[in-house]
With several copies, the nearest count.
Chain A
Amino acid sequence: MSLDTVKNAEQTPDAAQPWAELGLKQDEYARIREILGRRPTGAELAMYSVMWSEHCSYKSSKVHLKQFGEKKPETDAMLVGIGENAGVVDVGQGYAVTFKVESHNHPSYIEPYQGAATGIGGIVRDILAMGARPVAVMDPLRFGAADHPDTRRVLPGIVAGIGGYGNCLGLPNIGGEVVFDSCYQGNPLVNALCVGVMKHEDIHLAQASGAGNKVILYGARTGGDGIGGVSVLASETFDDTKPAKRPAVQVGDPFQEKLLIECTLEIFREKLVKGIQDLGGAGLSCATSELASAGSGGMRIDLDTVHLRDHTLSPEEILMSESQERMCAIVEPDKVARFLEICEKWDVIANVIGEVTEGERLEIFWHGELVVDVPPRTVAHEGPTYQRPYARPSWQDALQADAPTGERLARPTTGEGLRADLLKLASHPNQASKSWITDQYDRYVLGNTVLSVGEDSGMIRIDEETNLGVSVATDGNGRYTKLDPYTGAQLALAEAYRNVAAGGAKPLAVSDCLNFGSPEDPDVMWQFAEATRGLADACLTLGTPVTGGNVSLYNQTGEVAIHPTPVVAVLGVIDDVTRRTPVAFAEEGQLLYLLGDTEDELGGSAWSQAVHEHLGGLPPRVDLERERLLGEILIAGSRDGMIDAAHDLSDGGLGQALVESCLKGGHGARIVVPEGMDPFVFLFSESAGRAVVAVPRSEELRFNDMCTARGLPATRIGVVDGDALDVQGQFTVPLAELKDAHTGVIEALLA
């Protein structure tokens, strides 16, 4: 069959088109015809269909995400906000930091290794596209039940993929999360975060301006990756002389990406770029339409100049291809030669594929024929928007009413019982040591990692002279969010905020990845609406703006959605990384203080899961002012040398925090249950706004004065001592026994 050109489309207005197979709704197809004043060509149809998909257009989530802008707190820190590849934050001394968390959930279920690997690759290119050198990655992960056979397939592949790609790029992995819950059985979550650093003047944006400027595509050759969907189109429009199968999975080449990073940074250093965009989902369709849409004029592309790996690709397939490790730059004509020279130096293939034009159209040619002629904004930024119906689920009340009271769930009443539950928690896959996973990640490369595995936040030094640094923590508790999405999202933020402060850094900004089920289910949509509202409100109160993020919907198997899982990343800054606070109890004799208030709050707790496999009630209460105060104390304590160790309390409560800090430091602790406090609640409640800190004896007075003056409850609960965790009057566990329980758990499950 012949090529579907614009001319052809004009002449054959009634030709049938596979818009439904491409995922478009009838009214969406009608709107495309209206925009163009004719039927779209095959290539245009492909572009609109993918750019108007949920993944690229945020059509279900946009109306809710708006709040992040509307409720944005006053801050001078934000240099670039939502809408670009990633937000950029001022961290002082002329430095800017960009960070973003994204999902690669579905691909990682189909092909765990490559899915996870290309997830890292994609987020790193987003950060690079802002003008920054990527300096660290993190990986918040969720898997199905730890003992499910499919977890044994999915987990090792995902971990190897993240390590395989990140290690080969030379990016230290400074943190992440691993959570098991059967709700993720058919939908593991692979979220990936990258942090990048640059000077203010190096910030780059994704826009094409200046008629006559050249469009350069560089990086890997374009192949048939990830165009499974568009092959309907190819098979309808074209004869069948080409390979029947188009791979739906993309394969990453981290070596190519490493070259792309070094090459791009050298190009930035020589100021050769006017605008730049990475190629991710929707490939060239996305990059060209977004660049043109954000720019001043139009753009003209000649697809014949694209370097191909597979010469049988049709124009629509070239436009849709999601081949990895590619970037698109806008370059002034007199800088093109030098640009290409640097690419040659790094063995990176580069090609001028078009130019910025005076007009207002994105025009794409194939074999000299016009196959795309569209207003770029209509593709990239003016996609459909839905007000999806939502309603509080009918089961929500019953779930919340099923609170884990003493009558509902048996609580241990003896020292022996408490001890058994402490060990049960420490050895539950969700609380156990994740070293089998984290040992597969390079945490040392680049030589600036100050805090990483096993710490509350990942921290890196960004200036070796001044010791300026940044830290990032990611958190998200699907169980809390299921019980109450508004509060659950706020708790995710509160926890990440607290983790950053516990390391000694001041929280500045937020990125988020919202992992939910199908937006077509009003229950799920309600969870989404509540969670975004909660997050936006909390960001306003805490003064930490959302700088960017990602939404992943349709995480469900049949009718059953995953727990709503907003993953929140908080970025903080620390003036002097040598003052950071680790979690380890490292000095015998230091005094242990519990900061904050402890209530009987066990809804959604790790205890209720590990001991009773129960989920019900309400999650812990959120008090954001308290979180802010706690943060201030933790930061001041670190800066002024009043605290030598700090660990935030979250899942598993104080008991689990003590286990981790003792094991990490190789020292035990003697703990006294405060007068009038129930030992069970003391050890296992998950009340928010709390941390345990180790205070040198010489600083006790000063530290107490500070807490009293600021009104933060601080209770002395014990001392770092010996080689056992000893809760006086209740039980003692030798460190060796704790270590035995806490380690080797994941290994044993996978063996």
Chain B
Amino acid sequence: MARVVVDVMLKPEILDPQGQAVQRALPRLGFTGIADVRQGKRFELELEGPVDDAALARIREAAETFLANTVIEDFTVRVEEEGK
């Protein structure tokens, strides 16, 4: 079965309280040198059929209308490479 990954991140201009909380905690734990952290969602979809253009188009539509809230989020859709 093929895997398609949809990454959903808050738009850059939108406040990301979770990312901020992580970023503030990192130096306290001794991890320095990280200028910014943003936290988003990752969906792994296992497709039954082949990952052709039609399938990807449908997933893009699902991402646009359902997986992401495009009022505040951006998304990317990609096919997971073999062997991962």
- Which residues of A come within 8 Å of B, CB atoms? 110-111, 114, 220, 223-225, 243, 245-247, 249-251, 253, 255-256, 309-310, 323-324, 347
Contacts and interface: CB of A to CB of B under 8 A. Distances in A.
Given A247-B13, A250-B15, A251-B10, 10 more contacts: A220-B15, A224-B13, A243-B12, A246-B13, A247-B11, A249-B14, A253-B20, A255-B17, A256-B17, A323-B15
Contacts of A250: 15
A310 B13 CA distance: 7
B69 A247 contact: no
A249 B13 contact: no
A152 to B, nearest CB: 11
Given A247-B11, A247-B14, A309-B15, A255 B72 contact: no
In the A-B complex, the 10 residue pairs with the smallest Cβ-Cβ separation, listed nearest first, are A253-B17, A251-B15, A111-B71, A224-B13, A247-B13, A251-B14, A243-B13, A247-B14, A223-B15, A249-B71
Contacts of B15: 220, 223, 225, 250-251, 253, 309, 323-324
A111 B14 CA distance: 13
B21 interface: yes
A220 B20 CA distance: 11
A255 B21 contact: yes
Contact of A111 (B10, B11, B21, B72): B72
Interface in B1-22: 10-15, 17, 20-21
Contact of A249 (B21, B24, B72): B72
B38 to A, nearest CB: 12
Interface of B: 10-15, 17, 20-21, 24, 69, 71-72
A347 B28 CA distance: 13
B13 A245 contact: yes
A225 B71 CA distance: 13
A110 B70 CA distance: 11
Contacts, number: 40
Contacts of A246: 13
B13 A114 contact: no
Contacts of A310: 13
Contacts of A255: 17, 21
Contacts of A111: 69, 71-72
A309 B14 CA distance: 10
B4 to A, nearest CB: 22
A225 B17 CA distance: 13
Contacts of B71: 110-111, 249
Contacts of A110: 71
Contacts of B21: 255
A247 B21 CA distance: 22
Contacts of A256: 17
Contact of A247 (B20, B24, B72): B72
Dominant secondary structure of chain B at its interface with chain A: loop
A323 B16 CA distance: 12
A223 B69 CA distance: 20
B68 to A, nearest CB: 13
A256 B15 CA distance: 12
Contacts of A247: 11, 13-14, 72
B46 to A, nearest CB: 14
Dominant secondary structure of chain A at its interface with chain B: loop
A220 B15 CA distance: 10
A245 B24 CA distance: 27
Contacts of A249: 14, 71-72
A543 to B, nearest CB: 45
30 contacts: A110-B71, A111-B71, A111-B72, A114-B72, A220-B15, A223-B13, A224-B13, A225-B14, A243-B12, A243-B13, A245-B11, A245-B13, A247-B11, A247-B72, A249-B14, A249-B71, A249-B72, A250-B15, A251-B15, A251-B17, A251-B72, A253-B15, A253-B17, A253-B20, A255-B21, A256-B17, A310-B13, A323-B15, A324-B15, A347-B24
Contacts of B69: 111
Contacts of A251: 10, 14-15, 17, 72
Contacts of B13: 223-224, 243, 245-247, 310
Contacts of B11: 245, 247
A313 to B, nearest CB: 10
A589 B14 CA distance: 53
Nearest to B71: A111
B22 to A, nearest CB: 12
Contacts of A323: 15
Contacts of B10: 251
A45 to B, nearest CB: 23
B36 to A, nearest CB: 11
Contacts of A243: 12-13
A743 B20 CA distance: 26
A243 B71 CA distance: 16
Max chain A Cβ within 10 angstroms of own Cβ: one of B10, B13, B14, B17: B13
A50 B13 CA distance: 21
Max chain A Cβ within 10 angstroms of own Cβ: one of B11, B12, B15, B72: B15
B14 to A, nearest CB: 5
Nearest to A254: B17
A249 B73 CA distance: 12
Contacts of B14: 225, 247, 249, 251
Nearest to A220: B15
Nearest to A312: B13
A250 B11 CA distance: 12
Contacts of A220: 15
A418 to B, nearest CB: 39
Nearest to A246: B13
A653 to B, nearest CB: 38
A582 to B, nearest CB: 35
A255 B25 CA distance: 14
A255 B17 CA distance: 8
Nearest to A245: B13
Nearest to A244: B13
A309 B10 CA distance: 15
A225 B13 CA distance: 8
A256 B24 CA distance: 13
B21 to A, nearest CB: 7
A249 B72 CA distance: 8
A113 to B, nearest CB: 8
A568 B15 CA distance: 34
Nearest to B11: A247
B69 to A, nearest CB: 7
Contacts of A245: 11, 13
A347 B21 CA distance: 11
A744 B16 CA distance: 25
A533 B10 CA distance: 46
A323 B71 CA distance: 16
A243 B14 CA distance: 12
A247 B13 CA distance: 7
A115 B69 CA distance: 13
A501 to B, nearest CB: 42
A121 B20 CA distance: 19
B55 to A, nearest CB: 25
A66 B13 CA distance: 41
